[in-house]
Amino acid sequence: MKTGCGKSSTGNTILGRDEFTAKSSQMSVTKCCKKVEGEVNGRPVFVVDTPGLFDTSLSPEGVQEELVNCVSLLAPGPHVFLLVIHIGRFTFTIVLLTGGDTLEHDRESIEDYIKNNCDDSFKKLISDCGNRYHVFNNRDKQNHTQVIELIAKIESMMKVNGRRCFTNKMLQESETAIRKEMQKILKEKEEKMQKEKEEMERKYKEDMEAMKKRIDEEREKERIQREKELEKMRNKIREEEEKRKQEQEIRENEKREKEAEEERPPRKTCNTP
């Protein structure tokens, strides 16, 4: 039940007269619940016009208060809630579709419209409502056949429900169920976010460990390379020292031999006649 979807016009169509204020507006016209009595096909009916569930001009508490007031106005309780959404403005399943003149203009049945123009969420809502839906042409308020057919569908639903009324207790139970579902959704979302956080932390830890491992491996390679270069330099130094030592020994040996040669006395030669 959204602002501007035709709730007030639908109420006027059911009653066959203008009782609820209905006009084109981006703002909600209906601010408070209003109850009007009428007659359809010889039987009395009570219709209550309500603000839209998504009326942004009212607080959530205000909308809830008006919904409770709606149930109280129809004590001991309403037999049916008509969920009203204009055809073409939403892709959600509804109980009562307005804008039937659009279908007539396009020569399209409501069954074909649902089959060809609605997504799975729309069809699921239709199924959740027991495949109960109806189309209204609010431009033809003198067409009581559509109203009689609606009442017949309501009567059929009432029989299935054992002619029970929707009570405040049921509303409270519905609210409790909705709150539980919301808590479940929030809990699942929190768990999902927690899992995603843990997964991100795990991946971050793994990435950091992998990076540390790569850095350690690079450092180890560099250390080993430096050790090899240092060892190579040490070997070269040892070789040069050994070479110099050998050259020094050779020079010293040559020097000693030369000194020994110089200290040796000259040889005497004798000639005999």
Q: Which amino acid is at 119?
A: D
For the chain, list the domains and their CATH numbers.
7-166 (3.40.50.300)
pLDDT at 204: 94
Residue 209 above 90 pLDDT?
A: yes
Of the pLDDT bands very low, low, confident and very high (cuts 50, 70, 90), residue 171 is low
173-182, 195-204, 221-230: least confidently modelled range? 173-182
pLDDT at 4: 47
Per-residue three-class SS string for the chain: CCCCCCHHHHHHHHHCCCCCCCCCCCCCCCCCCEEEEEEECCEEEEEEECCCCCCCCCCHHHHHHHHHHHHHHCCCCCCCCCCEEEECCECCCCCEEECHHHHHHHCCCHHHHHHHHCCHHHHHHHHHCCCCCEECCCCCCCCHHHHHHHHHHHHHHHHHCCCCCCCHHHHHHHHHHHHHHHHHHHHHHHHHHHHHHHHHHHHHHHHHHHHHHHHHHHHHHHHHHHHHHHHHHHHHHHHHHHHHHHHHHHHHHHHHHHHHHHHCCCCCCCCCC
48 vs 268 pLDDT, higher one: 48
Residue 214 above 90 pLDDT?
A: yes
Of the pLDDT bands very low, low, confident and very high (cuts 50, 70, 90), residue 233 is very high
pLDDT at 28: 46
Q: Is there a contact between 52 and 2 (Cβ–Cβ < 8 Å)?
A: yes
Q: Tens digit of pLDDT for each residue in 89-112?
A: 333 233 577 777 877 777 888 888
Joined tokens for residue 170: 């049921």
pTM: 0.39
226 vs 52 pLDDT, higher one: 226
pLDDT at 56: 43
Q: Which of 15-19, 81-85, 197-201 has the highest mean pLDDT?
A: 197-201
Q: Cα angle vertex 136, ends 135, 138, to 5°?
A: 160
46 vs 139 pLDDT, higher one: 46
Q: Which amino acid is at 86?
A: H
52 vs 121 pLDDT, higher one: 121
